[in-house]
Amino acid sequence: MADEAFRAVPFAERTLPAILQAQASLGNRPFIRTANQVLSYAQAPTLAARIAYRLKSAGVQRGERVAAFCGNRIELLQLWLGTAWAGGVLVPLNTALRGQQLHHALHVTRPATLFTEMALVEPLHEAAQALSSVRNLWVFDGGNTHGRDRIGRSLLERWTLGNEQAAPEAIGPGDASAILFTSGTSGPSKGVICPQAQFYWWGVHTGKALGVGTDDVLYTTLPFFHTNALNTMWQALLAGATYSFGARFSAGGFWDEIRRSEGTVTYLLGAMVHILLKRPAQPDDRQHRLRVALSPATPRPQVELFEQRFGVKLVDGYGSTETNLVLSNVIGDFVPGTLGRVVDGFEARVVDEQDCEMPPGAPGELVIRHREAFSMSTGYFDDPQATLAAWRNLWFHTGDRVIRDSNDVYHFIDRLKDSIRRRGENISSWEVEQALMSHEW
C-alpha cells in the first residue's frame, strides 16, 4: 500500500481493533505464527473479542492498565489485541526488573490486572506492596497453582478463556495503546504513553523502509517490552504479512531459527550484527530466505560485510519509544552507516542548548516533531513535569547528539548525557545507584 493509501485510511480507523476487523478479510492467512500455534487474520478479531470479554468481566474499565510480566510468548501479543478491544492499555514490563525497579513500574502505572508466568512469580513477591491496585493476577502457564497462592492481597490464578465475546470499545487514534518504560539517565524510568496511531504509523513507515509485503515473514528475537518488537506486529498487520518470533537472541541458534520460521525480514541491533559476524563462516551462511534487517547503530563496514557474507541488506534509521521511525537511510540514495534523511510526516532539527538551530556540519541535539496526529507519544504517564521538559518549545528533545550534513543526512555522534548500554538497551545510572545504595556494605 502506498503512502497515499495509508493516509487515506479514515483517521478514526487508525486503531488496533479497527485494523484487525479490516484485515479479517485475509481469511486463513497466518497473522502470528510460532512453532506450535498459528493465529490467522480471520481468527484475530474473534480472539480479541473473547479476551476483551474476560477482561471486562473481571472489571477492567476503559483506560485501565493491563500489565504483563512475562517473556516473549504468543499469549502476550494476544493479550494486546484483547486489551485494545476492551479499551484498556497494555503495560509490558521488562522481565529483568527486580526489587525497587519492579516496584516503581507497578507503583507508577497502577495496573488493574497483571499477567505473568510461573518462572517470574518470585520477583513479584518482592514487589507485593506495589500490587494494591491489582484486582486479578493471572498466570499464562498455570504451573502448580490451584487457586491457593497469593502475592500480597492478590490471588494467583491460571488464565482461562471462554467463548463469550465483547463488542469493541469505541477507542480513538489518540487513546493509549501501551505504556512502555524507557530508561532515563538522571532519574527513574519513565512510562511512555504510546497512542494507537503511533503504532499505526510505526507500521506504515518501518514497513515501507523494509519493503514489507504480503509474502513476508517478519521474525524477531527482540523483547516484547520494547517498541521495536511491538511495532513489528503492526508492520505485519498492515501488510497482511506473518509475524513470528523467538524467545531471545542466540548467536548459535539465530540462523537455524531464521530457517525454521522462514523469515524474510528481521530486526537486529548493532551489537547483534557484530556477534553474528564474529562467528566462523559456515557453508550454509546464505541458505535462508532472509533478505533485509532493520539494524540501528551499525557501522558501514559491518553493513557491507554482513551483506557480502549473508546476502542480507541492513537498513538503519532513527526512532525511539517516544517518537517513530523519524529518519531512514533508504530515503533517496542508500547511505549505510548513517541515520539517513527525515521521513515524510516529521520534522527534525539539530539545535544548541538554547534550542537554536545549528548549521550543517555542526553537532547538536536532535529534536523532532510530527505532522500526523498522534504519530508520536503523548507524554510520560503521570509525569507532567518530565513531559514538559522533554517536549519544550513544542519539539521532542531526544538527548542524542547528531550532525546533519550538507546532503541532509543525519549522523549519530553520542548521547548528550552519560548513559549505560547493555546489549543495546539503555540502563538508568540513577537506578543502578539506587540499587547499590539499598545494599548493606
| Interaxial angle between packed helices 429-437 and 99-109, expressed in degrees from 0 to 180 and rounded to the nearest 10 | 120
Residue 418, pLDDT > 70, answer: no
On whether the CB atoms of residues 384 and 206 are closer than 8 A, the answer is: no
pLDDT at residue 153, rounded to an integer: 78
CA 378 remoteness from chain centre: 16
- Within this chain, do residues 205 and 162 fall inside the same structural domain, yes or no? no
pLDDT at residue 419, rounded to an integer: 52
Q: How many CB atoms lie within 10 A of CB 265?
A: 29
Express as a percent the part of the chain with pLDDT over 90.
87
Residue 429, pLDDT > 50, answer: no
pLDDT at residue 29, rounded to an integer: 98
- For residue 435, being part of any structural domain is answered with no
- For residue 185, being part of any structural domain is answered with no
- For residue 337, being part of any structural domain is answered with yes
- Within this chain, do residues 85 and 203 fall inside the same structural domain, yes or no? no
pLDDT at residue 185, rounded to an integer: 59
For residue range 316-350, list pLDDT tens digits in order: 999 999 999 999 999 999 999 999 999 999 999 99
The C-alpha atoms of residue 116 and residue 138 are separated, in whole angstroms, by 6
pLDDT at residue 236, rounded to an integer: 98
15-19, 78-82, 418-422: lowest mean pLDDT where?
Answer: 418-422
**Burial grade of 427 (CB within 10 A; 0-12, 13-18, 19 or more):** middle
End-to-end Cα spacing for the chain: 60
pLDDT at residue 155, rounded to an integer: 86
Averaged confidence pLDDT in the chain: 92
The identity of residue 179, as a single letter, is I
- Within this chain, do residues 200 and 320 fall inside the same structural domain, yes or no? yes
- For residue 334, being part of any structural domain is answered with yes
Residue 425, pLDDT > 60, answer: no
Calculate mean pLDDT across residues 174-184.
91
Residue 432, pLDDT > 80, answer: no
Residue 421, pLDDT > 60, answer: no
Domain count along the chain:
2
- For residue 180, being part of any structural domain is answered with no
Give the DSSP H or E segment for 156.
Answer: strand 154-158
- Within this chain, do residues 227 and 275 fall inside the same structural domain, yes or no? yes
The identity of residue 212, as a single letter, is V
Calculate mean pLDDT across residues 42-48.
98
The C-alpha atoms of residue 314 and residue 307 are separated, in whole angstroms, by 7
- Within this chain, do residues 27 and 147 fall inside the same structural domain, yes or no? yes
- Within this chain, do residues 311 and 379 fall inside the same structural domain, yes or no? yes
Calculate mean pLDDT across residues 364-378.
98
For residue range 276-299, list pLDDT tens digits in order: 999 999 999 999 999 999 999 999
The identity of residue 113, as a single letter, is T
pTM: 0.92
- Within this chain, do residues 232 and 141 fall inside the same structural domain, yes or no? no
Domain that holds residue 43: 3-174
- For residue 191, being part of any structural domain is answered with no
3-state SS, residue 380? strand
CA-closest candidate to residue 83, choices 95, 65, 71: 65
Give the DSSP H or E segment for 369.
Answer: strand 364-370
pLDDT at residue 6, rounded to an integer: 74
- Within this chain, do residues 307 and 353 fall inside the same structural domain, yes or no? yes
The C-alpha atoms of residue 185 and residue 312 are separated, in whole angstroms, by 35
- Within this chain, do residues 228 and 170 fall inside the same structural domain, yes or no? no
Q: How many CB atoms lie within 10 A of CB 289?
A: 15
- Within this chain, do residues 146 and 213 fall inside the same structural domain, yes or no? no
Calculate mean pLDDT across residues 176-183.
93
The C-alpha atoms of residue 357 and residue 347 are separated, in whole angstroms, by 13
- For residue 392, being part of any structural domain is answered with yes
- Within this chain, do residues 408 and 357 fall inside the same structural domain, yes or no? yes
The C-alpha atoms of residue 274 and residue 339 are separated, in whole angstroms, by 18
Express as a percent the part of the chain with pLDDT over 70.
91
- For residue 437, being part of any structural domain is answered with no
The C-alpha atoms of residue 255 and residue 288 are separated, in whole angstroms, by 8
Contacts of 360 (CB under 8 A, 6+ apart): 403, 404, 405, 406
Give the DSSP H or E segment for 168.
Answer: none
For residue range 109-162, list pLDDT tens digits in order: 999 999 999 999 999 999 999 999 999 999 998 655 554 588 887 889 999 999
Calculate mean pLDDT across residues 74-89.
98
Looking at per-residue pLDDT, the higher value among 150 and 33 belongs to 33
For residue range 231-266, list pLDDT tens digits in order: 999 999 999 999 999 999 999 999 999 999 999 999
- Within this chain, do residues 274 and 158 fall inside the same structural domain, yes or no? no
pLDDT at residue 246, rounded to an integer: 97
Instruction: Supply the CATH number for residue 203's domain.
Output: 3.40.50.12780
